[in-house]
Each structure stands twice: as C-alpha cells, then as structure tokens.
C-alpha cells in the first residue's frame, strides 16, 4: 500500500528516487526549487553545479550557475519566466534567463552591508515580485529587513528592524506576494508570517506556525499558501511532537492541510529534516528542497550524517476522486 501524507483535499504520495542524475554526480543540500511554465524543475543546490534542471519525470536536462553563486538560498520564477536567484553567500540577487544568462544583478558580489544596519544586503534570503514587477528581497541572516526595488534594480525603499513587534523581524527568511499586492514575510524565529502592503505598512500576521522557513503561494485569486516549518533544535524540546519539521497548507491563514514527517525527522521519502524550498507544478505535485546537511547536527547531535542526505523530494498530489 502506497504511503500517503496529508488528508482531505491535500493528500500526497512520495515519489522515491525521482531525480535522475548523471552517473557520478550528486546534489548538494537543496536550498530552493522552482517550476517553469513547461513543468521543468530548477533545483538550487549547494554543490559545484548550483543550478540543476529536470523535467517533471525527474530526467536531468542541464546545469548552470557555477560562475554566479557561492551559497544558494532562494529561488522563484516570474511571470515572464525569468528566474530570480538569491545567493546568501555573495550577498546578491541575480535575475537570469532560464538557461542561465544573467539579466540583472542587485548587490555587489562579496560586499555585505554592515550587520543589522538595514542597508542591503547582508546574507539575503529570498525574493518576490509585486503584480507590477517590483522586486522585494528579504535580508535575513545579517539584517532584519525587506528591501523593495524597481524592475530595473533601482532601490525604492526598505523596512524592518530586529525585534518582535509589528514590522520587526527575527530572521526574515522567505517572502511571497499575492495578486492583490500584499506581501507575506516568513518571520522565522518569531514563529509567524507578517503581512504588509506594497510600501511596508503592517497589515496583519499569521500565527501558530513553528519556525516558518519556506513559502509558496499559488497564483491568482484566493491563493493557497504552502509553508515549510522546521523543527526545534533545543535539547529541551527537540523530540517534542507536533512542532515539525512539516509542511502546512494555509487558506487565509487557516490550516487546511498538513504533511507531517512520518516517524519524526529523517531522510526517508515520507520524512523531512528542514523544508527550505517549495514549489508546485501544473498538476499540483509538490517539490521540496531541504538543507539536510545544515540541519543534521541540530536535529541529531552526535550522530553521523548518512551517506545519502536526500535533500530533494517530490510528492504526487492524489486527486480528490482517488
């Protein structure tokens, strides 16, 4: 009997050994994934081949980006099929064509803003586009800010500072924008998603999430938001159930589905370690990138890492009638 995660309208079947790499190749930990309008899957991973491209059946198509990226972190594809790549290691955002040609770079490679200065960038994390094409960037590990740019890369404004109050952040880790222009920020270590208008004015927040790390929002009206939540790392609550790692599915902030890691954190096909990047294809199948190597020492202190980390997973959505 096939393993099924989730329930109701959100049931998924793990697809084991989905990605078929050339002989001798290996994926690094997968920071982010994105899917284009032809259902090709872009895998932003921490290896000597930072961008690997597959078809929806997992057949390897191409690789690029070795000359552009140092430590991949965030990825998304815009309506014009340009791909926005956030590289934490070089403090830059690169807009590229789907075959890897650089179209725009925001930030100077290797040059970071002072820590917690609010100035771009210090270990930036992810991007999103407004309905009119402005670029939002979460600046999360060395800052506590969101920056907004014109489509040509001209800086427009920034907001946020360290803290727990409204409009403040404790590691803004991911960002999405809906068709109405609302901006959703995964405020990871504050255990919430904050919501803003396009000029950074606080409008609300979604609570009852555990360290929200990955975001994916479906396009169009009435969007559904997929949230990758990572588990606790402290000894006192590391083994506490119902805290993650997991993927929660939200409709207007209310949980309508959840994929829990079966048997606790792990590298199995039906388990999660650190869901760090999420994407859906045209059939509703779910792709999950995980930073398993980075998460392992905190999840399993003192235990050796497995030889195969399994940081890229695909889950086939099971139709409601099945």
Q: Is 53 within a domain?
A: no
What span, in angstroms and rounded, lies between the C-alpha atoms of 148 and 143? Answer: 15
Q: Is 61 within a domain?
A: no
φ and ψ of 258, to 5 deg:
-155, 135
Q: Is 62 within a domain?
A: no
Structure confidence at residue 238 (pLDDT): 92
Is the distance from CB of 258 to CB of 241 less than 8 angstroms? no
Q: Is 60 within a domain?
A: no
Determine how many CB atoms are found less than 10 A away from the CB of residue 269: 18
Structure confidence at residue 307 (pLDDT): 85
Domain count, the chain: 1
What span, in angstroms and rounded, lies between the C-alpha atoms of 214 and 224? Answer: 14
> What global pTM score does this model have?
0.97
Q: Is 88 within a domain?
A: yes
Q: Is 56 within a domain?
A: no
φ and ψ of 121, to 5 deg:
-120, 155
What span, in angstroms and rounded, lies between the C-alpha atoms of 309 and 291? Answer: 9
What span, in angstroms and rounded, lies between the C-alpha atoms of 254 and 76? Answer: 24
Q: Is 57 within a domain?
A: no
- If you write DSSP's letter for every residue of 215-233 in order, what string do you get? EEE-SSSS-EEEEEEPPP-
Instruction: Give 279's strand partners.
Output: 287
Angle 247-248-250 from CA coordinates, rounded to 5°: 150
Structure confidence at residue 249 (pLDDT): 98
Q: Is 168 within a domain?
A: yes
The domain that holds 137 is classified in CATH as 2.120.10.30
What span, in angstroms and rounded, lies between the C-alpha atoms of 227 and 170? Answer: 17
Structure confidence at residue 277 (pLDDT): 98
pLDDT (tens digit, 0 to 9) for every residue of the chain, 322 residues total? Answer: 689 999 899 999 999 999 999 999 999 999 999 999 999 999 999 999 999 999 999 999 999 999 999 999 999 999 999 999 999 999 999 999 999 999 999 999 999 999 999 999 999 999 999 999 999 999 999 999 999 999 999 999 999 999 999 999 999 999 999 999 999 999 999 999 999 999 999 999 999 999 999 999 999 888 999 999 999 999 999 999 999 999 999 999 999 999 999 999 999 999 999 999 999 999 999 999 999 999 999 999 999 998 888 999 999 999 987 6
Structure confidence at residue 320 (pLDDT): 84
Query: What range does the domain containing 96 cover?
Result: 5-17+29-46+69-317
Instruction: Give 53's strand partners.
Output: 42, 62
- Cα dihedral 45, 47, 53, 55 sign: negative
Structure confidence at residue 308 (pLDDT): 83
How many separate helices (H) and strands (E) can be counted in the chain?
1, 25
What span, in angstroms and rounded, lies between the C-alpha atoms of 269 and 248? Answer: 17
Structure confidence at residue 1 (pLDDT): 64
| Matching residue, tokens 């064509």 | 97
Does 121 sit behind a cis peptide bond, omega within 30 degrees of 0 on the bond before it?
yes
């Amino acid at each position: 009997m096939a393993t099924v995660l989730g329930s109701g309208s959100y049931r998924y079947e793990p697809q084991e050994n989905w990605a078929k790499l050339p002989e001798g190749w290996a994926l690094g930990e997968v920071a982010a994934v994105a899917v284009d309008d032809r259902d090709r899957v872009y895998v932003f991973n921490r290896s000597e081949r930072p961008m690997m491209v597959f078809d929806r059946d997992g057949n390897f198509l191409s690789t690029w980006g070795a000359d552009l990226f140092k430590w991949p972190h965030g990825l998304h594809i815009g309506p014009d099929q340009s791909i926005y790549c956030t590289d934490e290691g070089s403090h830059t955002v690169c807009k590229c064509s789907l075959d890897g040609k650089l179209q725009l770079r925001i930030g100077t490679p290797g040059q970071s803003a002072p820590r917690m200065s609010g100035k771009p960038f210090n270990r930036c994390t992810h991007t999103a586009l407004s309905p009119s094409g402005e670029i939002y960037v979460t600046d999360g590990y060395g800052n506590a800010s969101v920056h907004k740019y014109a489509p040509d890369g001209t800086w427009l404004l920034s907001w946020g500072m360290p803290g727990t109050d409204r409009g403040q952040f404790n590691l803004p880790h991911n960002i999405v924008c809906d068709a109405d222009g609302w901006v959703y920020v995964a405020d990871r270590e504050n255990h919430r998603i904050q919501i803003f208008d396009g000029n950074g004015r606080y409008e609300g927040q979604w609570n009852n999430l555990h360290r929200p790390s990955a975001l994916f929002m479906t396009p169009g009206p009435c969007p559904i938001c997929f949230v990758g939540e990572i588990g606790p790392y402290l000894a006192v609550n590391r083994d506490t159930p119902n805290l993650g790692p997991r993927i929660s599915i939200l409709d207007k902030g209310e949980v309508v589905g959840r994929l829990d890691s079966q048997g606790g954190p792990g590298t199995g096909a039906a388990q999660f370690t650190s869901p760090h990047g999420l994407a859906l294809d045209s059939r509703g199948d779910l792709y999950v990138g995980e930073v398993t190597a980075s998460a392992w020492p905190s999840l399993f202190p003192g235990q050796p890492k497995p030889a195969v980390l399994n940081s890229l997973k695909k889950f086939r959505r099971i139709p409601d009638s099945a």
